[in-house]
Structure 1
Amino acid sequence: MRSRCLCQICTCGRHHCPHGTTKIYENSGMSCHTTEYLEKYPAYGNVLPPQSLKPKQEFQAWHGKMEGVTTFKSDYRPYEIVKQPRHIPEEYKPKQGKIDLGTTYKRDFNSYKVQPVAIVRPLERKQVKKGKLDTVPTYKDDYRSWGIQKSELYKPEQAYHPPTVKFGNSTTFQDDYVPQEIRLRPSFKPSPVVTCSTIPFCSDTSHRLAYVPHQPEVRFAKPKEVYKPTDQPFEDLTTHRNDFQGLVGETVKICRPAYTRVTQNAQFEGSTEFRESFQPWEIPPPEVRKVPEYVPPAGSMELSSTSHLDYIPYQTSRVVPIRPVSLRRKNNLPFQGKSTMKEDFPVWESCRQGLIKQQQQIPNPSGKFDGLSTFRSHYVPHELIPTESCKPVNVALKRSVPFDDITMYSVEYTPKKQEICPASYPSPPGYIFENTNSQGHKFFRKITPTVKVS
C-alpha cells in the first residue's frame, strides 16, 4: 500500500508538514517535491534532450597574405548609364457624336403646375401730398464729376496665338530656365599622404628667446617679539557687578493657598446622569487556563554537534610581528616639568568676592494679608440651569401581533453535514504512522480492512 503524507491527507487545506529541515534531521539539501504539478503530470522515461542544430563557432585562423579586395569590389559590376526616355503625351482627339445631357433628376422628376403665391403683406397706403416733389437727391446735388482722362497701359501688347497641339504653350520655367553643364567642385580635403620633413626640429620658443633671468632679492626676516606679561592684576568685575548693588531684605513669602491633595479612596459627592442610568453589575472573573505539567522526555540527550564530530584541531604557531624594532633612546635624566605656559603665566593669588545684590525699589508690605484674591472679590456666582436631555426614552415597543420570524434563508437553506478534516487529529483515523523523512514530512500508511473468510 502506498504511504501518504499529512499534506495529502488534509482536505481543508490548512494542515501542512514543516517543509524546512531541522537539527534532528539530516541536511541533504533536497527540496520538497510534493506539489500538485507532479501529482497530475507524471514524469516520462529516460528521454534524451534534442540535439542542437546550431553550427559550432570554431575560429579558423587564416595564415595567408590578406588581399585588398573587399566584398563590394569583388561583387560590384559597373553598368552603362542610359538616359531615361521622356514620356510623350498622346494627341488629344475629341469624341464623335452628341453628349447625352440627360440626368437622373430630369428623368425621375415629374414637373407640376405652380400657382402664384398670394402676397400676405398689407396694402400700401399712398400718402397724397400737395405740392411738387423734388426728385434730385443730395448725392446728385452735391457731387460734381471730374474730367479725368484715362491713363495709358504700360504693359506691352502681346498677340495671343492659340496652340495647334494640346498643352502646346510653354511655361515660364521653360522660357526662363537655361540648362547648364554640371561641373565638379574641387575638393579642399587635405591628402592623406604623410609628408616627412627633412629640416631638423627647432626647439627655440618665444619664452626661451625673450626670457631674461633675474637674481631674486634677499628675503627680509622679521625678528620675533618677546612676550612680556603685565604687572597689573586681572579685574574680574563686570559692569553689572559695579553698577547694581543688592539690598539686604527678607525673602518673599508665597501667597497661594495650601494645596489639599485629593486621595483616590475619597467618594464623589453628588449623582450624575450616567450613575442613575447605568447601574453596576457583577462581572464574573475570567477563567484561568490550566497549563499542562511539563514532562521531560525519556532517555539521555545527545549533545554532540556536527562541529564537534567533524572538526579536527590543528596546532598553530604564534605569528611573529613584522613591525621594525623601535629605536628609542633611554635617558636616565630626571623630567623637567617646565613649559612656556608655566613660565609666562604665573599663578595669581585670588580671593572669592562677596555676593552683590541689587537694591530693592518696591518696599515690602507692612500690614497683614486679607486672603482675598482678585477673582474672589470680583466673581459673581450664577445659578446653574441643567440642560434638558433630547435622548429618546429607552422603552421597548409592545405589539399584540406576534413577530413573523420566517426569512428566505430559513426557508431555502438546507443544512449540510460538517465534515471534520482527518489531518486535524493527532493520528488521522484509518492511518498508521510510518516514518518521517529528512524534510520533516510525516508519512502515514492506510489500514486495509480485514475480510473474514467463512
Structure 2
Amino acid sequence: MKRPQCLCQICTCGRHRCPHNPTRIYDHGGESCVVTEYVDKYLQYGSLPPPQSLKPKQEYQKHGGKMEGITTFRSDYLPYDVASRPIRVQEEYKPAPGDIDLGTTYRRDYNAHKIQPVLLVKPLDRKRVKGGKLDTIPTYQDDYRAWEIHRREPYKTDNIYHPPTEKFGNSTTFQDDFFPKELTTQKSFKPVAKANASDQPFNGVTSHRADYTAHQLEPKWTRSKVEYRPNSQPLEDITTHRCDFRGLLGELPKSFKPEYTKIESKAHFNGVTEFRDSFQPWVVSLPELHKAKEYIPPAGNMDLNTTTHLDYTEHEVHPLVLMRPLETTRKNNVPFQGNTTMRDDFQAWDAGRQDMIKRPQEMRKPSGKFDDMTTFRAHYVPHSIIPTQSCKPSKMAVSSSAPFEAGTMYRSEYIPKMQAICPATYPSPPGYVFLSTDSRGHKFFRKATPELNKIARANGNHVPKQIAVVS
C-alpha cells in the first residue's frame, strides 16, 4: 500500500500549501515539520561531510606557564645611585658695624637753592569805615581810559531798492542768467525707406523644381480582411481566484440578539405610576405674614442744637488788605490812530498769475485736410502672382489582385499543449481520498483510481480531459 500524501505533495503548481494550524494542545515536542517545498525540490545528498571552515576559532587560549612580572619599563630602566641632598645650614645674622649711609642718588646730585618766601599778590582787605560815604567806583572804571576810535567805513555797495513801476517788472535770476538758444534740427542718417522695384519678371525657378525627378509609384498593396470564425470550444472561465481560492465550509454565525417581541395589553391604563404611589400629598400650612409695627412719632419738639453750635466761639475776622497798589485808569481823549509800521511801509500791489513760460513748438500742426496717403500706399508696387505647382503625388489608392500570405512563424511552429489543472485547486483533490489531519495541520490523502468522467467541481462543471488552444 502506498504511503499517504499531504496536500503540499499533491500540488503541482507550487501555490498550494497546508494551513499548518496545530490542533494539539500544549504540544511542545522537538519534532519539526519535514514536509516543505525545500525538502521536496532539494533532495538530501549522501554521506558527505560538510566543508571545514578555515576560520580560526574565537576561543580564549589560556597560558599554562607562570606569568613573569617583567615590563618594558623594568627591562629598560637602569637605576642610578641617588645620594641624599645636603642640607644648607642657615648662617646667624650679624648686624654690620658703624652707621647706615642714608645717601641716595637724589641727595648726591641735587643742589639745594635758597628759597625766599612767596609774596601774596592778593590785595589787602580794606576795612569798611562806618559813617563814611561808600566808594562805588570799580577798578575797571577807575583804570580804563576810553580811546578815540573812528568808525570804519563799510566796503559793501549801497543797494538801494527801487520799486518797479510796472506790474511784476523785476526779473528773476533765471531770466537774467539764462540766454535762450535756437533749436537746430539734427540731420538723420537713416536711409530712406524706399522699395527697390525690379524690372525683370519673376521666373519662379527653385532648386527643388530644378533637381526633383518624378518617379512612378508602384501599386499599393492592400490586405484582405480575415473572416471571423468563432471558437467551437466553450469558454473555460477559469481565473486565478477560482484556481487558488479554497472555500472552507462552516456554519454561519448565530446572532445573540434577542428576538423583538411587541408587548401589547388590552387593559385600560389607570394612570397609576410609581411617583403617584410613593409620593402621597400631605397638608401644608401657609407661612405666617410678618406685620410691620405702626410708627408712633415722639412727643415734644426736636432739639436741633449740635456740638458745633454749642461749643463754637465766633471771632471777629477783618478782611485781608492787599499789598498790591491799586490800578489807576488813565482816561485819554485822543482818538486812536490805526497806522502801524507794516501799513506805512508795505503797499499792496495788484498781483496777478504769471503766464507759463513755454518753448516754441518745433513741429507745426498741419492746417490742410488729411489726404489718407501712407508710406506703404505711396511706394508699394503690385506684382502678378504665379501659383507654385505642387510636386506632391496625388492620393490614389493602389490595389493589388495578389492574395495576402497570412502564414507566420507562430502559426507554422506553434504546437498546442494541454493545460494542466492543479488537483489541489479543488476542495477535495480528484483521484484522492481524505484520510486524516495530523497535529501540525497537514491534510493527508490516499490515492484512488476513480473514473474521471464522474469527477465534478463544486459549481457543477466537469473537468475536461484536454483543452484545445487556438491562437
Q: Same fold (TM over 0.5)?
A: no
TM-score range, shorter chain: under 0.3
Q: Structure 2-normalised TM-score?
A: 0.21
Q: Structure 1-normalised TM-score?
A: 0.22
Bigger relative contact order, structure 1 or 2, given CA contacts below 8 A and separation 6+? 1
